Structure 1
Amino acid sequence: MRLLLLSTSTLHGEDYLAYALPTIAGHLPSGGRVAFVPYALADRDAYTARAATALASVGITVQGVHRASDPRAVVDAADAIFVGGGNTFRLLRALQRTGLLATIGDRVRDGVPYVGSSAGTNVACPTIRTTNDMPITEPAGLTALGLVPFQINAHYVDADPASTHMGETREERLEQFLEDNDVPVLGMREGAWLEVTETTARLGGVSGSRLLRRGAEPVELPPGADMRDLLEVSTRYDT
């Protein structure tokens, strides 16, 4: 497998994908054709056009799967797969209904490069239980692609010590997840990404991440950190 999992598609003040574009270009086959999955947003045409414009600058052709009578055929014919961000519940429901959940999983495990951003990163995990999104739609279960054996929290934000907000912090919410599930959670801040093969996993990007495990103190991780140990974890849900 070859995965590039981005916490976000856009950094503040920058164009879409700009901060990660060189890495994306290196991850995708030169001159290749990418199946773009825009189901996480409602305006799928506009979203696909945005991705196509960004990737055209590095010689990549984009085809939106939503325009095909059989989206699975687009994925089967593509040189790479890019699953865009938006609402993770909306995305997963569409992947289930189109049959793409199984098709994408099969192709990626056969070696087709995968790029996920935000919601597209969330669905690379075993489940979408650590997404930040509101369940605006109801998928048929929370099981996702399972391309990595651990959970990711995209858009991870640290608590602001100066804030008067009395609600739960992101870390507290993830600790609640760990009370019922014994699965490592990688909190990826804006600008972080994770590159994964079957035997390697390494953080990249312009910001660090935070690893949370049941019964352990969170660990700070800088860009460049070797995360291969996460590929060997045993996981237990609803424990």
Structure 2
Amino acid sequence: MKLLLISNSTNAGEEYLRYPLPEIGRFLDGVREIVFVPYAAVTFSYADYEKKVQARFAELGIRVRSVHRAKDPAALVRGAEAICVGGGNTFALAKKMQQQGLMTAILCKIKAGTPYVGWSAGSNVCCPTISTTNDMPIVEPESFKAIGAVKFQINPHYLDANPAGHAGETREQRILEYIEANPRRWVAGLREGCMLRCEDGKLELIGRRPMRMFRKGVETFEVEPGGDLSFLL
């Protein structure tokens, strides 16, 4: 498998996809065209999303082809040189992908070695389910099942903070609820500015911040960039 799973597209005060672009370029070295899945977009059009991503990927000399323009999106995916799934609302993304058979098509391509890049919701859908997303269920997909390319769950944009005056649950408490209900599943709290790269049978955390790991019966712990992640594979 060749996966690049990014927590967030944009760091505060930066341009869109600026911080992960060098790593995306290294990961997609030699790729001339990607098939893009824009279905996490809700408050702007798929065409606008395609244009936004194309503007950045043009710096890498990569053409972007969006599945929303295809008569048969799954067929477009099956012929892809590489696949990219953007962030937005995970429920909207999952619903459309399920309707068009893209979950199965993408998994087959990943198993065949096709590179996959996702950020935020695009990272969520690479997991067994979308259950550790931060998003509101604004639409109802067929199920919470996702691509299942990895065996663990990701919580993108993971935050440690509990804002002053906020009496609700923290992100950690929500994840602890998840592992209580799903005791066999690891959850990776992937902080902003970080990404996971899976290549040549190895999983690596890239970025300047540690990743917080959760599993029922295991004391929560941190993994530093470059640390051993073999237990997730």
- What TM-score results when the alignment is normalised by the length of structure 2? 0.95
Partner of 2:212: 210
Q: CA deviation at 1:73?
A: 2.2
Partner of 1:195: 197
Partner of 2:231: 229
- Distance (whole Å) between structure 2 residues aligned to residue 48 and residue 143 of structure 1: 25
Partner of 1:219: 221
Partner of 2:179: 178
Post-superposition Cα deviations, 1:164-201, rounded to whole Å, max 9, x if no partner, equal 21100000000011111011100001111001136211
- Distance (whole Å) between structure 1 residues aligned to residue 154 and residue 25 of structure 2: 23
Partner of 1:40: 40
Partner of 2:131: 129
- The one-letter code matched in structure 2 to 1:20 is P
- The one-letter code matched in structure 1 to 2:103 is L
Partner of 1:165: 166
Post-superposition Cα deviations, 1:33-68, rounded to whole Å, max 9, x if no partner, equal 100100000311111111111011011111111011
- After TM superposition, the structure 1 stretch with the greater mean CA deviation from structure 2, 69-78 or 34-43, is 69-78
- The one-letter code matched in structure 2 to 1:104 is I
- What TM-score results when the alignment is normalised by the length of structure 1? 0.93
Q: CA deviation at 1:31?
A: 4.4
- Distance (whole Å) between structure 2 residues aligned to residue 29 and residue 198 of structure 1: 15
Query: SS where residue 156 of structure 1 aligns?
Result: coil
Whether the 8 Å contact between 2:213 and 2:222 is mirrored in structure 1 is: yes
- Distance (whole Å) between structure 1 residues aligned to residue 37 and residue 229 of structure 2: 27
Partner of 2:115: 113
- Distance (whole Å) between structure 1 residues aligned to residue 99 and residue 196 of structure 2: 28
Whether the 8 Å contact between 1:29 and 1:79 is mirrored in structure 2 is: no
Q: CA deviation at 1:228?
A: 1.7
- Distance (whole Å) between structure 2 residues aligned to residue 153 and residue 47 of structure 1: 23
Matches within 5 A, 1:6-17: 6-17=6-17
Post-superposition Cα deviations, 1:195-215, rounded to whole Å, max 9, x if no partner, equal 113621110023221001112
Whether the 8 Å contact between 1:85 and 1:120 is mirrored in structure 2 is: yes
Aligned length: 230
- The one-letter code matched in structure 2 to 1:59 is G
Whether the 8 Å contact between 1:31 and 1:61 is mirrored in structure 2 is: no
- The one-letter code matched in structure 2 to 1:177 is Y
Whether the 8 Å contact between 1:203 and 1:226 is mirrored in structure 2 is: no
- The one-letter code matched in structure 2 to 1:64 is S
Following superposition, which runs of at least 4 residues in structure 1 exceed 4 angstroms of deviation? none
Runs of at least 5 residues in structure 1 that lack an aligned partner in the other structure:
232-239
Query: SS where residue 203 of structure 1 aligns?
Result: strand
- The one-letter code matched in structure 2 to 1:45 is A
Query: SS where residue 52 of structure 1 aligns?
Result: helix
Q: CA deviation at 1:16?
A: 1.2
- Distance (whole Å) between structure 2 residues aligned to residue 133 and residue 225 of structure 1: 29
Matches within 5 A, 1:55-74: 55-74=57-76
Runs of at least 5 residues in structure 2 that lack an aligned partner in the other structure:
none
- Please, what is the CA RMSD of the aligned residues? 1.2
